[in-house]
């Protein structure tokens, strides 16, 4: 599916749809309907489809007792106002990425991804088994909502650049779309950073208001058409090593559900988190092959100079959160660091050596 088709479907909304959506959820014979607003264009590969699949899982698993109607980016609210729609009650559920809301509490960024931080598997282990979910709940309690992991992109691409970048000096003044703590890292490296929703990035690149942009990886980036503007594709990212998306629900509406429906929401989110991971892992390599073979994209790696400077900047950003006056953000950062210190021993002792050995010794003829 081409970029225009996706964005046309994802960003077109009518007044009639908006008016109908703002009415109260349907309630009849013990059945209810929730509205899910998302940050993604309609039918967007991986992430947008993941939101649709999550809604279908909840509706099917509940036998229709709890149905979820999905509103893609712009259909009910602007994409980067999805969480606010749940907070103010105009929707019961949202689907996005927690680092989009770091202005509410910088600790939320840790539940999407941290520069030079955890891989996807490590991140899920922290949230599910090492106290991450409990701290996430504390942050969102302030806003009357509940967050769940809902999707996993794996390690992302580093971004699309009009010109090759080889040194830190090449980054000075670079107008770059990238969000979260990673945006703070790139700013420390000299870039001028902004955040835009998925459907707004191509136009900014085309208009020349951006010199570079990163979003997710080949599967999504092919659909968004960035290759039409920039041909230098840097991989992998050092700021998003294992990005997670989130589903957020109104806490009062969630607690009002019977226990079995609450468990359905939890289980559906966990199932779709894993399903999106497999979808991305299967389709990123195929999309990358198309980008290279059909569209002439050049795949590059960041230089050691940039990687080292990025690591130093990442440590500074993390240290800043750990020493901040924001008690919950500090608590989140301390928990994250403790979990990463533990979990990376498995990667360092088991996973990384195996991948090195496979690359070095095991080749198909």
**pLDDT tens digits, one per residue of 57-86:** 999 999 999 999 999 999 999 999 999 999
pLDDT of residue 116: 98
**Is the Cα torsion angle 271, 274, 277, 282 positive or negative in sign?**
negative
Exposure class string for 94-127: b at 16+ Cβ within 10 A, else e: bbbbbbbbbebbbbbbbbbbbbbbbbbbbbbbbb
The count of structural domains within the chain is 1
Asked whether residue 179 is domain-assigned, the answer is no
Average pLDDT, integer, range 86-99: 98
Rounded CA separation 16/199 (Å) = 22
Asked whether residue 347 is domain-assigned, the answer is no
pLDDT of residue 207: 97
- Percent of the chain scoring above 90 in pLDDT: 91
Among 58, 127, 114, smallest CA distance to 314 is for 114
Is the model's pLDDT at 37 over the cut of 50? yes
Asked whether residue 174 is domain-assigned, the answer is no
The predicted-structure confidence for 155-176, as pLDDT tens digits, reads as follows 999 999 999 999 999 999 999 9
Instruction: Evaluate the omega torsion of the peptide bond into residue 161 and state whether it is cis, within 30 degrees of 0.
Output: no
What CATH number corresponds to the domain at position 139? Answer: 3.40.190.170
Average pLDDT, integer, range 20-35: 66
Rounded CA separation 185/313 (Å) = 5
Asked whether residue 200 is domain-assigned, the answer is no
The predicted-structure confidence for 202-250, as pLDDT tens digits, reads as follows 999 999 999 999 999 999 999 999 999 999 999 999 999 999 999 999 9
Among 363, 276, 332, smallest CA distance to 102 is for 332
Rounded CA separation 37/13 (Å) = 13
Among 350, 331, 269, 340, smallest CA distance to 106 is for 331
pLDDT of residue 11: 42
pLDDT of residue 26: 47
Asked whether residue 315 is domain-assigned, the answer is no
Domain span holding position 85: 3-154+242-283
Rounded CA separation 232/302 (Å) = 11
Asked whether residue 361 is domain-assigned, the answer is no
Among 210, 223, 234, smallest CA distance to 160 is for 234
Whole-angstrom Cα Rg for the chain: 20
Rounded CA separation 141/144 (Å) = 5
Asked whether residue 175 is domain-assigned, the answer is no
Asked whether residue 68 is domain-assigned, the answer is yes
At which residue do the structure tokens 């009062």 appear? 252
């Amino acid at each position: 599916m081409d970029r225009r088709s996706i964005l046309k479907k994802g960003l077109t909304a009518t007044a009639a749809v908006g008016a109908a959506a703002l009415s109260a959820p349907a309630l009849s014979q013990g059945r209810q309907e929730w509205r899910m607003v998302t940050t993604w264009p309609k039918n967007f590969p991986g992430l947008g489809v993941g939101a649709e699949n999550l809604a279908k899982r909840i509706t099917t698993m509940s036998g229709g007792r709890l149905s979820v109607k999905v509103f893609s980016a712009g259909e009910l609210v602007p994409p980067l106002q999805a969480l606010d729609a749940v907070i103010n009650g105009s929707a019961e559920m949202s689907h996005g990425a927690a680092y989009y809301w770091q202005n509410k509490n910088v600790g939320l960024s840790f539940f999407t991804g941290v520069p030079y931080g955890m891989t996807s598997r490590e991140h899920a282990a922290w949230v599910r088994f090492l106290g991450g979910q409990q701290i996430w709940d504390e942050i969102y309690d302030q806003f009357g909502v509940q967050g769940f992991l809902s999707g996993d992109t794996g390690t992302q691409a580093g971004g699309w650049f009009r010109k090759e970048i080889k040194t830190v000096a090449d980054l000075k003044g670079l107008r770059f779309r990238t969000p979260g703590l990673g945006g703070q890292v790139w700013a420390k490296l000299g870039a001028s950073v902004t955040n835009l929703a998925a459907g707004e990035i191509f136009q900014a690149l085309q208009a020349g208001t951006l010199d570079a942009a990163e979003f997710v990886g080949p599967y999504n980036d092919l659909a968004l058409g960035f290759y039409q503007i920039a041909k230098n594709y840097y991989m992998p990212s050092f700021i998003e090593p294992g990005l997670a998306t989130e589903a957020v629900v109104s806490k009062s509406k969630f607690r009002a559900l019977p226990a079995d429906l609450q468990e359905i929401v939890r289980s559906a989110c966990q199932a779709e988190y894993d399903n999106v991971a497999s979808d991305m892992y299967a389709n990123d390599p195929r999309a990358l092959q198309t980008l290279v073979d059909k569209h002439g994209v050049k795949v590059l790696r960041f230089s050691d100079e940039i990687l080292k400077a990025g690591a130093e900047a990442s440590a500074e950003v993390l240290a800043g959160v750990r020493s901040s006056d924001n008690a919950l953000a500090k608590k989140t950062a301390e928990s994250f660091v403790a979990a990463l210190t533990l979990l990376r021993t498995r990667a360092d002792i088991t996973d990384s050596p195996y991948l090195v050995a496979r690359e070095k010794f095991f080749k198909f003829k």
